[in-house]
Amino acid sequence: MKDYLVLIRGGDARMADLTEAETAAHMERWNVFMGGLAQSGNLAGGLPLGQDGRILTTAGSSEGVVNSENGQAIGGYLMIKAENYDQAVELSKACPVFEHNGNLEIRECIPM
């Protein structure tokens, strides 16, 4: 099995418009998704990230500010185990971020 990093982008702006009941239902779908990955042995970790961040440039500047309002900020990440990219993609297709126009970037972690 190989390790894959799944970067979760977007969806935050739409979440702000949900009712309390809709938010609870959406979070339950996350619990089911993550629970399924854990139960199958494909979940190696993952956490949500804060809404604000900084981008460091080669000059050491941290002037760039990342925020979730532009829809491109990374809202969280998963570490999954899969045999190959195809399986990593299949495992990720059920991610609830797609309900709110978010997207995923899947990258293989290369051992050093």
Kindly list the domain boundaries of the chain, sorted by start residue. 2-51+69-108
pTM over 0.85: no
Residues in the chain: 112
What would the mean pLDDT of 63-67 be, rounded to a whole number? Answer: 57
Q: Give me the residues paired with residue 74 across strands.
A: 9
pLDDT digits (tens, 9 = 90+) for 87-99: 999 999 999 999 8
What is the helix (H) or strand (E) element at residue 37, kind and residue range? helix 20-39
pLDDT score, position 17: 82
pLDDT digits (tens, 9 = 90+) for 22-52: 999 999 999 999 999 999 999 999 998 887 7
Please tell me the CATH superfamily of domain 2-51+69-108, with its number. Dimeric alpha+beta barrel (3.30.70.1060)
Listed residue (84, 85, 78, 87) closest to 30, CA to CA: 78
